[in-house]
Chains A and B, each alone.
Chain A
Amino acid sequence: MSKIILTLFIFLQSIDAYALSADEIMKKNEEAKKNKNITTKAYLITGGGGKAQREKEFSWWRKLSSDTVHFKTLTRFHKPAEVKDEGVLFLEDKETEILIYLPAYKKVRRVETAQQSGSFMGSEFSYADITSHQREDYNYKLLKEEKCDAFDCYVIESTPKTEDVIEKTGSARGVVWVRKDNFVDVKAEIFDLEKKPWKKLVAKEIKMIDEANKKWMAMDLKMENLKTGRFTNLKFEKVDVTKIIPDSIFKKTSVGFW
């Protein structure tokens, strides 16, 4: 009897796992990456396409907002000298607000929504790629399950629900590979407005950065532009999730002072 119950339990468990809908998978994916506070050092290394490689170094603060859905992110550049002290503040909400601090003019400038699909600081990442994708902005469809590297993955298609999201991201379709074991995405393909392949994202060095809350983070993200052959590596190091980041640093008025 106990064997039957055990078998039934395992069977039900497997049915449950197999029966996860695309939405549920993406919800778990969202949860897996939802760190309350992240302080880290980051590097943007851009190259390829026959052009010289460029590297930028910056600090990165990301904090989960009180609504527990959206994030606030501040980046402060250190190198090269031409961009020293430039800062970018991402204030996610229903509409994401992005502000750039330009030390040469001691001035804060706003990035228009239509510009958010543009390059983030000369990299192959767009401003929209840097912000966290809001689950409710997309329709998801589970395309298949397959191996990705050594892991079993869900392959999920995302399509924006509104024209505003398309305008903001510059993309009309995306496909993401989500690991079954930890629900972290390891690969993504991004399609342009005509649904032609545009960019490819590969996440490496995926580490559990908060064991207590089972939160993960990819330490090396490589975004490749399939049209130009250029790529950008976004690398993180010295990730600290224990430091509580004060809300004050995310104020619009203080973007230039951190």
Chain B
Amino acid sequence: MLNLFKFISLRHLFLKPTRVLLTTLGIALGVSLFIAIEIINKSTLQSFKQSVEAISGKANLVITGPRVGFSSEILDKLKKFKEIKHAVPMVQTNIYFTNQNKLNENLVVLGVDLLKESSVRTYKTTDEEVMDDPLIFLNQPDSIIVTHEFAKRNNLGIDSKIEVATPVGIKVLTIRGLLTPEGVAKAYGGALAIMDIDGANYTFGRMGKLDRVDLILRESVDLESVKQNLSAFLGGAFEVQRPSENSKNMERLVHSYQALLSFFSTLALLVGVFLVINTVSISVVERRKEIGTLRAVGATKISIATMFMSEAFIMGLVGSFMGVFWGKLLSHQMVEMVATSMSRQYVTKISVTKIYFGLEHVLLGVVVGTLTAVFAALWPSIKASFIKPVEAMKKLDFNQLEQKSTLKIFYVGLSMLIYLVVSSYLGLGSKHKVLQYMSQGCTMIGSALVAPAIVTYLASLIKKTVKINLPLLKIALDNLIRFPKRTASNVTTLMVGLILVMMVTTLNKSFQTTLSNWFDRVFKADIVVSSSGDLVGFQTQPLAESIGLEIEEKVKGINKGVTNKGVYALRFTHFNMQGRQMGIKAFDKPDPSYDYAMLDIVDGPARGRVGEKLFNSENTIVVSEIFKAHINKTTGDIVTIETPTGSVDFKILAVVVDYASPEGIVYMSRDTYKKYWQDNLVSAYSLTVAPGFTVNQVRQDIDAQFGKSKSLMTVSQKEMKNNLLIEIDKSFSYTKAIEATALLIAFLGLFNTFMISVMERLRELGVLRAIGMEQIQLIKMILTEAFWQGSLGALTAIILGFGVSYIFIENDLSLILGWIIRFSFPWEVVGYVLLIGIFTGLVAAYVPARRAAQIKIREALEYE
């Protein structure tokens, strides 16, 4: 067996360097994307974990509560627990600093008790004190410590002043300390600042509030029992966790997102599989006589199969190593896009400063890449092993063989697609991970297997229905129909790549359309006012309630409606429920003319009735579809929410559509929210413009009166929608890399198969040249065939892409991501995909066509 490999396999690998190189490159590209996603997934999680560890320091347990904070009186209550040695409080908030380039820089501010901090966390510096003067620092509410890197980047130093947005307007903070990126300063990729807890609370208008308490327990106490006792004592609104549990929560939260990334990267790897299948299949056909001879001289079936698989193994191994190396480079390019996208989706800052690349990635890449190549070679190798010596010596009737096998393959593929439909309809993917992977596998493999038959059918259909006058087009189309297997070989890899492009663009389009339509239905305000920051992602500093009243009083042109109220507040925050971070949207009762437009009801009574009850009855809420799916409570049910003031039973009035959180959203009136959450802050104000005024006039008035002094930002309805769509686009920016990789592999596959098929047809082409076909005509003919293959491949990709995307988005996506997205087909991409298919076909065929045309007629006729 070793001899077969040594004397035959290796020789063949060296005899066909272009083919081997193209196949190896294809595997390398697939592995590179796969590994890049693995590296990014690990790096984002590790960075988050590092942030959690850096912030938790030496803490044994961490107490967190509602996102709006909780009373600092908890510290006194904790004194009764003798097991607690130190209880160190912290507040945490985001600030937005406008840098020299007029861009908003987001800093996470940790407000810590500097007189207790060293029990838990350490702040290091290289050559000077972290704080210039602790006495001054503590007594000045404007004191802030930033990292050296931040200070350097913005030309700042000790005693420099920075302007930041706070709930009570713009505040000037003074840098009184600098941190080197060690210990706590490593959290959030160094994008953080430290203030004294009182300074932070004073500056951000949160006196008496805490966001977390880190606990150091006395030695030899039972951590688990303390944790349980504390949980029972503090109630459900609080979470008592080991620091490592916090990382695990995040792991769970982003798991779905990472699963989607992995799904696409695996599909890209699958495109490479078809490349290998093609290469090995064609190699088997080319070497039939050699197989027959080997079998005749005693080679076993297993040794024949092993011979082909070992060739795939070599290509897989070399390609995998290349892929791992490229994957590392690719991860550097993509990581920022992915981290930004994740941060927006989970409203949690995720910064990746270090790429975690280790031996496990090398091993994973090599194992996955090599196994994929060997797996891809398995079927053609088995088929090779079953070739009988006598059959091998006979001339092969391709046509007969091809018709049979194409049909068989079609049925296998069809069965897979039927399974996919049934599985999605029954929601099997959610029942077990293996079933989910099976569905995903069926998507690509099933599509690829039915593709040849569809291509042949489409070609026949075109021939029958469209009158083609150009002889070249006609001959090329006939060739495609006569040799379905060859056509399939050429088209499959391209088509699989294009299906992936279709899926990614359909996903993006569906998100855009679903959110855009929802926005149009629920958003009726002309202007939204918030503090500077990212309003779409609700990453803004909350505002004081009084600001809304001031705007209402001082700004001209606000429509005050029948209630004489013109400015409506919205509070968006989070609370914990069954281990999930649910969102809350608390609204002021809208003007009757709004007709409760924000309630996009999918289950429940009429909007008006729900709205009246929501704003006039106590303890009533409306929940989002995904909340219903996660918590299993619907219209009419009672749900218990742990509020900062205790457990409260709320009646669900209706289920609505909302996309602010993939975990679930609860709507309530702001009066109810204020009562139970004890929080008067506002995330954004909305208003409509009175007749006789324009949106611009009112915005200018707000900007002039409050823009600078309160750091307020106004956004029109149109801008808000545009921003939303831009954000979605940004969230999908990383998919461009997936598309590009898939198309590149598809191109390599097509190029490879064109090279092979041209050589395969050399004799036929020689005959054509001998009977008078000119070189240029030959090139044109092959390019025309490529045109047909490209366009038919693209057309098949569009048809199959439509189907699998529909099934994926309507059924599987909500399981993976938690968003309920409606399928929307990107019609505008149809032309693009067709063009890409044709272009890729023509480019991939050009070199083989030229080579075929240049071969001498005599040599071509002698070619066997």
Q: Residues of A with Cβ closer than 8 Å to B?
A: 49, 51, 54, 56, 77, 80, 82-83, 86, 100, 102-105, 107, 109-112, 114-115, 117-119, 121-122
Q: Contact between B118 and A121 (Cβ–Cβ < 8 Å)?
A: no
Q: Contact between A86 and B135 (Cβ–Cβ < 8 Å)?
A: yes
CB contacts (< 8 Å) of A82 on chain B: these are: 135-136, 139-140
**Complex alpha-carbon distance, A104 and B203, angstroms:** 12
Quick one: which of A104, A111, A114 contacts B139, CB cutoff 8 A?
A: A104
**Complex alpha-carbon distance, A77 and B820, angstroms:** 62
Q: Contact between A100 and B119 (Cβ–Cβ < 8 Å)?
A: no
Q: Contact between A56 and B116 (Cβ–Cβ < 8 Å)?
A: no
CB contacts (< 8 Å) of B73 on chain A: these are: none
Quick one: which of A56, A83, A109, A112 contacts B118, CB cutoff 8 A?
A: A112
CB contacts (< 8 Å) of A49 on chain B: these are: 128
Quick one: which of A51, A86, A111 contacts B115, CB cutoff 8 A?
A: A111
Q: Contact between A51 and B118 (Cβ–Cβ < 8 Å)?
A: no
**Complex alpha-carbon distance, A166 and B817, angstroms:** 52
Say if the beta carbon of B141 comes within 8 Å of chain A.
Answer: yes
Q: Contact between B115 and A56 (Cβ–Cβ < 8 Å)?
A: no
Q: Contact between A122 and B128 (Cβ–Cβ < 8 Å)?
A: no
CB contacts (< 8 Å) of A112 on chain B: these are: 86, 88, 115-116, 118-119
Q: Contact between B198 and A102 (Cβ–Cβ < 8 Å)?
A: yes
Q: Contact between B202 and A105 (Cβ–Cβ < 8 Å)?
A: yes
Q: Which residue in chain A gives the minimum CB-CB distance to B119?
A: A114
Q: Which residues from 723 to 774 on chain B have a C-beta closer than 8 Å to any C-beta of chain A?
A: none
CB contacts (< 8 Å) of A105 on chain B: these are: 141, 198, 202
Q: Which residue in chain B gives the minimum CB-CB distance to A51?
A: B128
Q: Which residues from 126 to 144 on chain B have a C-beta closer than 8 Å to any C-beta of chain A?
A: 128-129, 131-136, 138-141
Say if the beta carbon of B113 comes within 8 Å of chain A.
Answer: yes
CB contacts (< 8 Å) of B134 on chain A: these are: 118-119, 121-122
B254 nearest CB across to chain A (Å): 35
Say if the beta carbon of B600 comes within 8 Å of chain A.
Answer: no
Q: Contact between A115 and B118 (Cβ–Cβ < 8 Å)?
A: yes
Say if the beta carbon of B402 comes within 8 Å of chain A.
Answer: no
Q: Contact between A83 and B139 (Cβ–Cβ < 8 Å)?
A: yes
CB contacts (< 8 Å) of A104 on chain B: these are: 139-141, 198, 202
Say if the beta carbon of B117 comes within 8 Å of chain A.
Answer: yes
Q: Which residue in chain B gives the minimum CB-CB distance to A170?
A: B118
CB contacts (< 8 Å) of B113 on chain A: these are: 109
Q: Contact between A122 and B135 (Cβ–Cβ < 8 Å)?
A: yes
**Complex alpha-carbon distance, A112 and B128, angstroms:** 23
CB contacts (< 8 Å) of B131 on chain A: these are: 122
Q: Contact between B115 and A110 (Cβ–Cβ < 8 Å)?
A: yes
**Complex alpha-carbon distance, A49 and B128, angstroms:** 9
CB contacts (< 8 Å) of A100 on chain B: these are: 115, 138
Q: Contact between A114 and B118 (Cβ–Cβ < 8 Å)?
A: yes
Q: Which residue in chain B gives the minimum CB-CB distance to A86?
A: B139
Residues of B contacting A: mostly: mixed
CB contacts (< 8 Å) of B198 on chain A: these are: 102, 104-105, 107, 109
Interface size, chain B (Cβ < 8 Å): 23
Interface membership of chain B positions 105-133, coded 1 if the CB is closer than 8 angstroms to chain A and 0 otherwise: 00000000111111100000000110111
Quick one: which of A51, A83, A118 contacts B136, CB cutoff 8 A?
A: A83
Q: Which residue in chain B gives the minimum CB-CB distance to A52?
A: B132
**Complex alpha-carbon distance, A122 and B130, angstroms:** 11
Interface membership of chain B positions 138-157, coded 1 if the CB is closer than 8 angstroms to chain A and 0 otherwise: 11110000000000000000
A47 nearest CB across to chain B (Å): 13
Interface membership of chain B positions 181-206, coded 1 if the CB is closer than 8 angstroms to chain A and 0 otherwise: 00000000000000000100010000
Q: Contact between B115 and A115 (Cβ–Cβ < 8 Å)?
A: yes
A165 nearest CB across to chain B (Å): 16
The answer to whether A115 and B139 touch (CB under 8 A), given A102-B198, A109-B113, A121-B134, is no
Q: Contact between A115 and B135 (Cβ–Cβ < 8 Å)?
A: no
Q: Which residue in chain A gives the minimum CB-CB distance to B138?
A: A102
The answer to whether A77 and B135 touch (CB under 8 A), given A102-B198, A111-B115, A115-B119, is yes
Which 9 A/B pairs are nearest by Cβ-Cβ distance?
A122-B133, A121-B135, A112-B116, A114-B119, A82-B136, A111-B115, A83-B135, A105-B198, A104-B139
Quick one: which of A80, A86, A107, A115 contacts B116, CB cutoff 8 A?
A: A115
B829 nearest CB across to chain A (Å): 59
CB contacts (< 8 Å) of A114 on chain B: these are: 86, 116, 118-119
Q: Which residue in chain A gives the minimum CB-CB distance to B87?
A: A112
CB contacts (< 8 Å) of B128 on chain A: these are: 49, 51
CB contacts (< 8 Å) of B86 on chain A: these are: 112, 114
**Complex alpha-carbon distance, A167 and B140, angstroms:** 28
If A119-B134, A122-B136 are given as contacts, then 7 extra A-B residue pairs at C-beta distance below 8 Å, sorted by A number, are: A102-B198, A103-B139, A109-B198, A114-B116, A115-B114, A121-B135, A122-B131
Q: Which residue in chain B gives the minimum CB-CB distance to A117?
A: B118
Q: Which residue in chain A gives the minimum CB-CB distance to B133?
A: A122
A257 nearest CB across to chain B (Å): 16
CB contacts (< 8 Å) of B136 on chain A: these are: 80, 82-83, 122
CB contacts (< 8 Å) of A111 on chain B: these are: 115-116
**Complex alpha-carbon distance, A149 and B128, angstroms:** 33
CB contacts (< 8 Å) of B135 on chain A: these are: 56, 77, 82-83, 86, 121-122
Most interface-central of B86, B113, B117, B138 (chain A CB within 10 A):
B138
A232 nearest CB across to chain B (Å): 12
Q: Which residue in chain A gives the minimum CB-CB distance to B216?
A: A114
Quick one: which of B115, B119, B140, B141 contacts A109, CB cutoff 8 A?
A: B115
A161 nearest CB across to chain B (Å): 18
Q: Contact between A102 and B139 (Cβ–Cβ < 8 Å)?
A: yes
**Complex alpha-carbon distance, A223 and B86, angstroms:** 30
User: What are some 16 contacts across the A-B interface (CB < 8 A)?
Assistant: A51-B128, A54-B133, A102-B139, A102-B198, A109-B115, A109-B198, A110-B115, A111-B116, A112-B88, A112-B115, A114-B118, A115-B119, A119-B129, A119-B134, A122-B129, A122-B132
**Complex alpha-carbon distance, A77 and B139, angstroms:** 12
A83 nearest CB across to chain B (Å): 5
Q: Which residue in chain A gives the minimum CB-CB distance to B142?
A: A104
**Complex alpha-carbon distance, A107 and B139, angstroms:** 10
CB contacts (< 8 Å) of B129 on chain A: these are: 119, 122
**Complex alpha-carbon distance, A115 and B133, angstroms:** 15
A100 nearest CB across to chain B (Å): 7
B572 nearest CB across to chain A (Å): 30
Interface membership of chain B positions 77-96, coded 1 if the CB is closer than 8 angstroms to chain A and 0 otherwise: 00000000010100000000
**Complex alpha-carbon distance, A114 and B85, angstroms:** 11
Most interface-central of B86, B136, B198 (chain A CB within 10 A):
B136
**Complex alpha-carbon distance, A103 and B119, angstroms:** 25
Q: Contact between A115 and B117 (Cβ–Cβ < 8 Å)?
A: yes
CB contacts (< 8 Å) of A110 on chain B: these are: 115-116
Most interface-central of A77, A100, A105 (chain B CB within 10 A):
A105
**Complex alpha-carbon distance, A107 and B115, angstroms:** 13
